[in-house]
């Protein structure tokens, strides 16, 4: 069963993402800040990490960059949730070597189809 | 003379009677006596021979000859004319052609006298005798001659006088004429001069009028020029004018202020129409563009524009030295309403403030978009899940509750913006009543109950009574909540949050002290500015609109109070606000209660 880590300081958003993905055959892990997210990544080795940008401790970009710079972890797919329509956010996501990004506010249907697409490739 | 003639006639009558009768009567004797004794010289002369036949006593006396002697003489012996000449003369008398003669007779003494002779013929003895009466007119003639000379002399003198008078008269007349002419000429000249003078006076009046009008116009033009100059100088933008030749012809005061650090004042000795600047336009532009990013390219562009009569140009310039600022430059061709091209204007404005405002707005938009998007994502996401999936009742309720919470969060955010807008525009209405500060603080603490157990809120009321303040309860609660939420938010590691209520002399003070991140020194003065958020790594991920403290400041100010902060960066912050409180509500306050607080206390 594929493991997906949801890292977001907003409890409501973690609940939303988890709820969205519960109809798929995924093992859902959660973290409420960047550091906790990295610890979970190293321990659990998820297939996909969904990262919010704004998190206390470490930003989503920093977590992503860390994952992608570690040879043991760099195969893990990363999806960053950015604020909508801002070019700088999109660029920052690519600079952090994220595999995918999705702008907030997102549709659960869109998120699910994105995640399913990523999981098929792995 | 008439007597003589009458006498002569009488004698002639006598003689004729004598001759006719030949017999001498008594009457004849009387006449003879008359002849003989007559005072006038009388002679009887034979015209043929010239012999004197008879002469009276007067003749004898006159000529100096005796009568007898005279009777033997011829008239030519007396008359100085020749005998023949005398006889010829007598013939005229005989023929009665003449009766009056003027002769010159010689007296016995030899003296020659001028005489007047009246002769008339008389027949006697068949012979014609001339009866002549002689009158000496020598003196008369002399007198006449004398008179004649005198007359002629007088005449000559008179004529001379006349001539002189005439000459002078002529002269005078001529002079007079000339004088009259001169006078006329003078009069005419005078008249002309008068006319001229009048004309000149008229012209002078006209000129004076024109002059006065010109002065008025000039004054008006000067005034308009001054107004225009004042407008241009007071215009909030630096203006440079470049003429059609590419030379800088004008710089306004605002430009000088804007570029006051440029030492070019020596060259620009006058505001208007700078003819001698000391250096060319390019050098001037280069000096102006010093410290501006891409300054050289801009100078090239400006020089290119000075030759361009049509293009409009606009650019934002960022200057890094000697001052850090943003300039907006635009350049238009300078064309009058009469379509005259005067060159080109370059207008510089310091837009640093606008840029700052713009940046703040952009920051706000970013903040707002982030702050709004998180709850929006929840609302949209959960509602979509509810709509598209069949969920258990428990799951559905969980989702609906979350939607509700996030929607409230959204509402609060929107209310913050609206509050700020209202307060800034002065439209905020405060519903002020007497409220207990103690109650408000307790209500605020309740809002944070059960939030997170890593925080501990400790409230201490350092007075016995419960002071009342005249305030809008909700607004003061908002301030309290904001300060408390900041204390929680900026204390990511948790810790104690102390709330103290103190009071003194009609005022209360509430202090909220945390053990959080603290505030950097350079951020202190901007902390209460709207949209200001401290940009540092340790708090970049802490959400907020940057409006909370700005709103709190406005609320406290509207209640006649003060709000402030003490902080030691890295150790925590201490926010406080002071409000006036109702008289007598602090009856129970203790002397020990005090506001006085130092940095050490506030920072601990």
Domains (range + CATH), chain A: 2-115 (3.40.50.2300)
pLDDT tens for residues B514-561?
998 888 888 888 888 876 767 665 665 566 667 888 889 989 998 999
3-state secondary structure of B388: helix
Residue ranges in B235-294 assigned as alpha helix (H)? 253-258, 281-288
Question: pLDDT-based confidence at B9, cuts 50/70/90?
Answer: low
What's the pLDDT at B175?
A: 77
With beta carbons less than 8 A apart as the criterion, state whether B550 and B420 touch: yes
B235-350: CATH number = 3.30.450.20
With beta carbons less than 8 A apart as the criterion, state whether B482 and B467 touch: no
Mean pLDDT (whole number) for B333-341: 88
| Beta strands B112-124; B100-106: pairing state | antiparallel
Question: pLDDT-based confidence at B87, cuts 50/70/90?
Answer: confident
Mutate to test the interface with B, among A105, A114, A115 (most CBs of B within 10 A): A105
d(CA B175, CA B167) in angstroms, rounded, equals 11
| Backbone angles phi and psi of B177, in degrees to 5 | -60, -45
What's the pLDDT at B411?
A: 87
Domain residue spans of chain B: 2-136, 235-350, 356-424, 433-603
Q: Is the pLDDT of residue A74 over 80?
A: yes
Q: Which fold has domain B2-136?
A: Beta-Lactamase (3.30.450)
Average pLDDT value for chain A = 87
3-state secondary structure of B28: helix
Identify which of A9, A12, A57 has the shortest CB distance to residue B378: A12
Contact yes or no for A109 and B384 at CB 8 A: yes
Q: Would you state the structure tokens that stand for residue B231, as one six-digit string?
A: 């407008």
Identify which of A9, A55, A83 has the shortest CB distance to residue B373: A83
Contact yes or no for B370 and A57 at CB 8 A: no
User: Residue B330: left (phi > 0), alpha (psi -120 to 50), or beta?
Assistant: beta
Burial class (CB in 10 A: 0-12, 13-18, 19+), B432: middle
Q: Is the pLDDT of residue A58 over 90?
A: no
Q: Which of B27-41, B74-88, B314-328, B397-411 has the lowest mean pLDDT?
A: B27-41
3-state secondary structure of B294: coil
With beta carbons less than 8 A apart as the criterion, state whether A111 and A20 touch: yes
Question: pLDDT-based confidence at B158, cuts 50/70/90?
Answer: confident
Q: Quick one: which of B86, B120, B90, B89 has its CA closest to B106? A: B86
pLDDT tens for residues B179-237?
788 888 888 888 888 888 888 888 888 889 999 999 999 999 989 888 888 888 888 88
CB atoms within 10 A of CB A32: 17
CB atoms within 10 A of CB B55: 27
CA distance B265 to chain A (A): 46
Residues of B numbered 166-205 whose beta carbons fall under 8 angstroms of chain A's beta carbons: which are they? Answer: none
3-state secondary structure of B312: coil
Q: Is the pLDDT of residue B30 over 50?
A: yes
CB atoms within 10 A of CB B544: 20
User: Up-side HSE of residue B262: CA atoms within 13 Å toward CB?
Assistant: 18
Q: Please tell me which residue of chain A has the smallest CA distance to B405.
A: A12
Q: Which of A115-119, B59-63, B152-156, B438-442 has the lowest mean pLDDT?
A: B152-156
For CA atoms B77, B79, B82, B83, the dihedral sign is negative
Size of interface A-B (CB pairs under 8 A): 69
Average pLDDT value for chain B = 82
Mean pLDDT (whole number) for B49-69: 90
Mean pLDDT (whole number) for B332-345: 89
What's the pLDDT at B277?
A: 55
| Assembly ipTM | 0.90
Residues of B with CB below 8 A from A19's CB?
A: 382, 385, 395, 399
Q: Please tell me which residue of chain B has the smallest CA distance to A59.
A: B541
d(CA A33, CA A62) in angstroms, rounded, equals 12
With beta carbons less than 8 A apart as the criterion, state whether A49 and A7 touch: yes
Identify which of A23, A54, A105 has the shortest CB distance to residue B376: A105
What's the pLDDT at B329?
A: 92
CA distance A49 to chain B (A): 19
What's the pLDDT at B524?
A: 84
Q: Is the pLDDT of residue B7 over 80?
A: no
Mutate to test the interface with A, among B538, B541, B542 (most CBs of A within 10 A): B541
Fold match, B2-136 / B433-603:
no
Q: Is the pLDDT of residue B165 over 70?
A: yes
Please check whether the domain covering B356-424 is classified as CATH 3.90.220.20.
no
Residues of B with CB below 8 A from A16's CB?
A: 377-378, 381-382, 385, 402
d(CA B353, CA B55) in angstroms, rounded, equals 172
Burial class (CB in 10 A: 0-12, 13-18, 19+), B459: middle
What's the pLDDT at B603?
A: 30
Respond yes or no on whether the N-terminal peptide bond of residue B322 is cis (omega within 30° of 0).
Answer: yes
pLDDT tens for residues B462-505?
887 778 899 999 999 999 999 998 898 888 888 899 999 998 87
| Backbone angles phi and psi of B320, in degrees to 5 | -110, -30
d(CA B470, CA A79) in angstroms, rounded, equals 53
What's the pLDDT at B1?
A: 55
With beta carbons less than 8 A apart as the criterion, state whether B123 and B19 touch: yes
What's the pLDDT at B594?
A: 37
Mean pLDDT (whole number) for B434-462: 86
What's the pLDDT at B535?
A: 63
CA distance B237 to chain A (A): 34
Q: Is the pLDDT of residue B11 over 70?
A: no
d(CA B345, CA B254) in angstroms, rounded, equals 14
pLDDT tens for residues B360-372?
788 777 767 777 7
With beta carbons less than 8 A apart as the criterion, state whether B535 and B588 touch: no
What's the pLDDT at B264?
A: 60
Contact yes or no for A108 and B385 at CB 8 A: yes
Q: Which fold has domain B433-603?
A: Heat Shock Protein 90 (3.30.565)
- Interchain CB contact of B531 with A (< 8 Å): no
Q: Is the pLDDT of residue B599 over 60?
A: no
pLDDT tens for residues B554-588?
899 989 999 999 998 888 999 999 999 876 555 44
């Amino acid at each position: 069963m594929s493991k997906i880590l949801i890292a977001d300081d907003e409890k409501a958003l973690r609940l939303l993402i988890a709820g969205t993905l519960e109809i798929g055959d995924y093992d859902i892990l959660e973290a409420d800040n960047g550091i906790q997210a990295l610890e979970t990544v190293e321990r659990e080795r998820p297939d996909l990490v969904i990262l919010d940008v704004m998190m206390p401790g470490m930003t989503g970009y920093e977590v992503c960059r860390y994952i992608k710079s570690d040879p043991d972890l760099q195969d893990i797919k990363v999806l960053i949730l950015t604020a909508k329509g801002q070019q700088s956010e999109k660029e920052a996501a690519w600079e952090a070597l994220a595999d995918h990004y999705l702008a907030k506010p997102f549709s659960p249907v869109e998120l699910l189809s994105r995640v399913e697409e990523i999981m098929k490739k792995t | 003379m008439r007597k003589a003639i009458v006498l002569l006639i009488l004698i002639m009558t006598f003689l004729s009677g004598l001759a006719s009768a030949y017999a001498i009567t008594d009457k004849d004797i009387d006449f003879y006596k008359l002849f003989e004794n007559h005072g006038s010289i009388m002679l009887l002369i034979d015209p043929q021979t010239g012999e004197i036949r008879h002469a009276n006593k007067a003749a004898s006396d006159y000529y100096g000859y005796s009568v007898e002697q005279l009777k033997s003489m011829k008239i030519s012996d007396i008359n100085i004319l020749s005998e023949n000449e005398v006889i010829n003369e007598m013939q005229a008398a005989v023929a009665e052609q003449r009766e009056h003669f003027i002769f010159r007779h010689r007296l016995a003494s030899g003296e020659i006298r001028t005489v007047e002779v009246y002769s008339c013929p008389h027949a006697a003895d068949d012979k014609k005798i001339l009866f002549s009466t002689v009158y000496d007119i020598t003196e008369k003639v002399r007198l006449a001659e004398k008179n004649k000379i005198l007359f002629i002399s007088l005449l000559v003198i008179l004529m001379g006088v006349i001539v002189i008078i005439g000459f002078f008269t002529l002269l005078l007349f001529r002079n007079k004429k000339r004088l009259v002419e001169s006078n006329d000429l003078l009069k005419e000249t005078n008249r002309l001069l008068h006319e001229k003078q009048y004309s000149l006076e008229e012209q002078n009046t006209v000129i004076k009028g024109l002059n006065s009008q010109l002065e008025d116009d000039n004054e008006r033009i000067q005034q308009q020029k001054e107004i225009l100059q004042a407008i241009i100088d007071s215009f909030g933008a630096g203006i440079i004018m470049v003429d059609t030749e590419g030379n800088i012809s004008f710089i306004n005061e605002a430009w000088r202020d804007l570029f006051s650090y440029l030492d070019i004042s020596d060259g620009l000795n006058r505001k208007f129409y700078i003819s001698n600047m000391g250096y060319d336009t390019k050098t001037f532009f280069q000096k102006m563009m010093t410290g501006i990013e891409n300054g050289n390219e801009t100078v090239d562009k400006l020089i290119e524009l000075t030759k361009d009569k049509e293009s409009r140009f606009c650019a934002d310039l960022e200057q890094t030295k000697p001052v850090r600022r943003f300039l907006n430059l635009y350049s238009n061709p300078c064309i009058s309403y009469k379509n005259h091209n005067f060159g080109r204007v370059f207008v510089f404005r310091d837009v640093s403030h606008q840029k700052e405002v713009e940046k703040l707005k952009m920051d706000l938009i970013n903040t707002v978009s982030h702050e709004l998007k998180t709850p929006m994502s929840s609302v949209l996401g959960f509602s979509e899940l509810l709509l598209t999936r069949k969920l258990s009742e428990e799951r559905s309720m969980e989702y609906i509750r979350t939607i509700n919470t996030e929607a409230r969060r959204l509402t609060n955010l929107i209310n913050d913006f609206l509050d700020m807008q209202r307060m800034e525009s002065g439209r905020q209405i405060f519903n002020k009543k007497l409220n207990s500060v103690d109650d408000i603080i307790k209500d605020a603490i309740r809002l944070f109950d059960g939030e997170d157990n890593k925080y501990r809120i400790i409230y201490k009321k350092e007075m016995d009574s419960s002071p009342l303040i005249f305030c809008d309860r909700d607004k003061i609660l908002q301030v309290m909540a904001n300060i408390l939420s900041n204390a929680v938010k900026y204390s990511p590691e948790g810790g104690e949050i102390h709330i103290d209520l103190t009071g003194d002399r009609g005022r209360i003070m509430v202090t909220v002290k945390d053990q959080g991140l603290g505030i950097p020194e350079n951020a202190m003065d901007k902390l209460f500015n709207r949209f200001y958020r401290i940009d540092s790594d340790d708090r970049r991920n802490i959400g907020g609109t940057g409006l909370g403290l700005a709103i709190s400041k406005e609320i406290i100010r509207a209640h006649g109070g003060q709000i402030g902060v003490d902080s030691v960066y890295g150790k925590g912050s201490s926010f406080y606000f002071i409000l006036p409180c109702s008289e007598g509500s602090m009856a129970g306050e203790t002397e020990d209660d005090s506001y006085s607080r130092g940095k050490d206390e506030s920072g601990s």
